[in-house]
Amino acid sequence: MDVRELLVADAEVMLDRLATGTISRSPAVTSLDSSIYTDPEQFKRERDRIFRGLPLMLAASCEIPAPGDYKTMDVAGMPLLLARGKDGVVRSFLNACTHRGSKLAKDCGQAARFTCPYHAWTFALDGRLLGVAARREFGEVDADASALVEFPTTERAGLVWAILDPAAPPAFDAFLHGIDQLLAGFDFGSWTFFERHELPGANWKLAFDAHMDFYHLPVLHRATFGGQISNLAEYFYYGPHQRLGLVTTNEHVLEQDDLPSLAHRPKEEWPLDTLLFGEWIIFPNVSINCFYKGGRGVIISQIFPGETVGESVTVQLFLHERPPVGEQSAAAHEMSDFLRHVVGSEDLPMSRDQQQVFATGLLPHVQFGRNEGGLQQFHHWLDRFVQAPSGTPLDEIMAK
């Protein structure tokens, strides 16, 4: 099945769900030990096996669109430097001078080269060592061995993925399982980066669980979304990745407004924008939501572990298909502020409350209903990757 055929098939399922007001339910209610959110050893295994062993979506291409553009970030204690070289290729490096470990760059910007702020060693955009200050006095340096530590990296669908293990095989095809081909329909590489927010939260899984849960929408978000919003999600699975369609015909659900109209049009005329409905989940920690306020846009949410098992950081990236101008710019900022409020003032405080409860040890299990299949699927895949014997190739883990 090609990409469009798959998107059309998903849309057909969604049209049936909208017509009947039903969802595909999981076979049973499941439960997990609540210590998955509080156990420091579990947290360490996730950091090592997940955040330093799997491909992670680190950036949108439009954050660093031109040669010389760079972005720095920390992921599970790993300082990273992403840079687009003169050849147009994005590479990811350990953000560290190979002399004495000083960070080469901060924040984001444009550079012809990177110069260490400690001793002025310089590096090319592709990681090569260019210069050593006072080289004669310093002594012999192996330039190849002193290049920046580089991670396997790929750029697909206008998004940048990397594996934070320099020795890891670049098994992107096996892991992405076609999700990159589906997301290519957005053409994010031609979009515009708008703004970025960082929000502190509890355990990273508690923070991320909310992104795969429409069950809570009319309850926790009653004041912001209204109590009439649907709590029904139809889940579509692509290996460990997924997307959620909200089962509602309410007109205010902008990313699905056009879906009912498809029933009255030939399939070959179904527009790609409509076929990309819903919320996309890129395993292990990214969600992509569409909106149209201020022009067609998306919020990309990245949830990263913090320093301890009870901490996380949610990074919100806002992209627009076209740069918002005039009234659209004001509307885009209003939408950005709204989504920051929803997550920062409603979802994340709830996750911190959950964290406090689970830390007591008095609520030993959490339950996931038959209507929460995406959460069941996420934790199943998480356990599969964490429990796999060290060194197991990604394609073998995916094939089990």
Q: Mind listing the pLDDT tens digit for each residue in 75-85?
A: 999 999 999 99
What are the backbone dihedrals phi and psi of residue 289, each rounded to the nearest 5 degrees, phi first? -115, 140
Is 3 a residue whose pLDDT tops 90? yes
The tokens for 358 are 């689970």
What pLDDT does residue 227 have?
A: 67
Is 253 a residue whose pLDDT tops 70? no
Q: How confident is the model at residue 226 (pLDDT cuts 50, 70, 90)?
A: confident
- Read off the pLDDT of each residue in 230-256 and give the average, rounded to a whole number: 84
Beta bridge partners of 90: 84
In tens, the pLDDT along 287-326 reads 999 998 899 999 999 999 999 999 999 999 999 999 999 9
Computed over every residue of the chain, the mean pLDDT equals 95
Task: Kindly compute the dihedral angle of the four CA atoms of residues 80, 381, 208, 375, in this order, to the nearest 10 degrees.
Answer: 170
What pLDDT does residue 251 have?
A: 59
Three-point CA angle 237, 183, 206, nearest 5°: 55
What pLDDT does residue 258 have?
A: 78
In tens, the pLDDT along 13-50 reads 999 999 999 999 999 999 999 999 999 999 999 999 99
What pLDDT does residue 256 have?
A: 60
What pLDDT does residue 1 have?
A: 63
**Residue 140 CB contacts under 8 Å (≥ 6 apart), including other chains:** none
What pLDDT does residue 76 have?
A: 93
Is 252 a residue whose pLDDT tops 60? no
Domains of the chain: 3-55+171-399 (3.90.380.10), 57-169 (2.102.10.10)
What pLDDT does residue 210 have?
A: 97
User: Higher pLDDT residue, 249 or 138?
Assistant: 138
What pLDDT does residue 255 have?
A: 54
List of E strands, the chain: 30-33, 56-60, 69-75, 78-84, 90-94, 108-110, 114-115, 122-123, 129-131, 150-151, 153-156, 159-162, 192-201, 233-238, 241-246, 279-282, 286-291, 297-305, 312-320, 365-368
What pLDDT does residue 195 have?
A: 96
First-residue to last-residue Cα distance in the chain: 22
Q: How confident is the model at residue 399 (pLDDT cuts 50, 70, 90)?
A: confident
Amino acid identity of 334? Answer: E
Is 363 a residue whose pLDDT tops 60? yes
Tell whether omega for the bond before 284 is within 30 degrees of 0, i.e. cis: yes
What pLDDT does residue 122 have?
A: 98
Is 178 a residue whose pLDDT tops 80? yes
What pLDDT does residue 344 have?
A: 97
In tens, the pLDDT along 104-152 reads 999 999 999 999 999 999 999 999 999 999 999 999 999 999 999 999 9
146 secondary structure, DSSP code: T
